[in-house]
Structure 1
């Protein structure tokens, strides 16, 4: 007797969502992703203020969200890299707050990947489990439904539990481009955010830029010199459009 293939299930998602349809439907695919809940205390401790909007500074991220989404829509773009000149500028902080702000737009689907492979941080900012290595996903060893976690109906994260020092080489592998294209085709996100490492420390950011439409630069007040910011602006704008430069922690606010 031949087994009925319709009875096959995927061990990672069968208890949390319906099986993937034979005919691709992005909405059903989103529903197939495992659901996780960020830790409220961890979010508060790490100043992820857009999760609750309890702090007035959330308005700055909402402003950034609206300006960014309008700019992307005008160009037909979806992929945004977020980086800073050096360590401590807060690119992961900005990425996470921006992601939660965009999630309030119910019609906008967003995917966020932690691509600071040398020092992954997104899972720690939210108190979420990171169950797989980003390197394995980018090399095609994991399917999106095995790797991604959904915190909202329209927001999914790809987290990283294993630091890697070969980020630049991995980013330039054609498999990375193929994996990202597959992700975009399957989930049809309106926004893809890539949290990248500092731009001036290694060539990781330059290696990844061919995969994005534009770049947001986060400068840290007290961390970034004017020379560093100028150097990053010149370096990145030669490769991809610069979507903005933000000053993080300027009197407790986000400046543009």
Structure 2
């Protein structure tokens, strides 16, 4: 446990120059723009039109206010953003104990529900480099704006006039090297978005908390975390373990895959 705590503390104190030096780059040659990639700098590019039918077949519905399932995500959105000023930026992490709980579907629906309000720009990003969930949902990044330093790829998608920016940290998530360095890179990027890109809502689709070392550290940099539990796949022990890892982060529980007439 002491080793984990020490690594997390290093992640919080490592500078970007420290990380690049460890990876063979001279810090004097690194500029701030190399690290920070504005996710909205491609606003002049056309958005890729998505099929509403395909999304609904994958249970992504919140772009359609008339769909009866959208109400649940609108209520979730309202509860999360009620205290947030229209000109503010907020980071929302969505995670689960293990794979199979529907984290990506919940994150995508939340992003579209927020985007329908049109008060904020919405960035839906995944750090789960080992999961093809975004591709299965049809939300792969269509236009890429990447940086060797940050590893973030961002594009735009649109369905029924609802626009969402979609991003992937997959290159960071699966890269070899120091875990603390990955944490520091993502944390620095999130801090820059928080301070320089408002009003923005960032919805992060994180890898499972119980199987990935990155998720807890990134969730700690969020304003709030959603813990998605899957009926039939999550246990009480999973819940307690995850809540213990989120003690420093405000969080809410989402029960997913519940049936209409009970569990």
TM-score range, shorter chain: 0.7 to 0.9
Task: Name the structure 2 match of 1:16.
Answer: none
- 1:12-48 residue CA offsets vs partner (Å, 9 max, x unmatched): xxxxxxxxxxxxxx9x847335512223332021011
Task: Name the structure 2 match of 1:9.
Answer: none
CA distance in 2 between counterparts of 1:71 and 1:117 reads 32
Matched, 1:241 2:250: yes
Task: Name the structure 2 match of 1:183.
Answer: 193
Q: After alignment, is 199-208 or 61-70 more displaced? A: 199-208
Aligned ranges 1:63-212 → 2 under 5 Å: 63-73=75-85, 78-129=90-141, 137=147, 139-140=149-150, 147-152=153-158, 155-159=164-168, 164=174, 166=176, 169=179, 172-212=182-222
- 1:66-87 residue CA offsets vs partner (Å, 9 max, x unmatched): 111114459x661111001111
Please say if residues 172 and 208 of structure 1, whose CA atoms lie closer than 8 Å, have aligned partners that are also in contact: no
Please say if residues 35 and 151 of structure 1, whose CA atoms lie closer than 8 Å, have aligned partners that are also in contact: yes
Deviation at 1:127, TM superposition (A): 4.9
Under a length normalisation based on structure 2, what TM-score does the superposition of the two structures give? 0.70
Please say if residues 84 and 218 of structure 1, whose CA atoms lie closer than 8 Å, have aligned partners that are also in contact: yes
Deviation at 1:110, TM superposition (A): 1.4
Deviation at 1:207, TM superposition (A): 2.7
- 1:203-254 residue CA offsets vs partner (Å, 9 max, x unmatched): 12123234312211000011111121122112212x3121x10100111599
Please say if residues 39 and 127 of structure 1, whose CA atoms lie closer than 8 Å, have aligned partners that are also in contact: no
Pair 200,109 (structure 1): closer, same or farther in 2 beyond 3 Å: same
Please say if residues 141 and 167 of structure 2, whose CA atoms lie closer than 8 Å, have aligned partners that are also in contact: no
Task: Name the structure 1 match of 2:71.
Answer: 59
Task: Name the structure 2 match of 1:37.
Answer: 49
Please say if residues 61 and 97 of structure 1, whose CA atoms lie closer than 8 Å, have aligned partners that are also in contact: yes
Pair 171,114 (structure 1): closer, same or farther in 2 beyond 3 Å: farther
Deviation at 1:180, TM superposition (A): 2.5
CA distance in 1 between counterparts of 2:180 and 2:74 reads 33
Please say if residues 37 and 128 of structure 1, whose CA atoms lie closer than 8 Å, have aligned partners that are also in contact: no
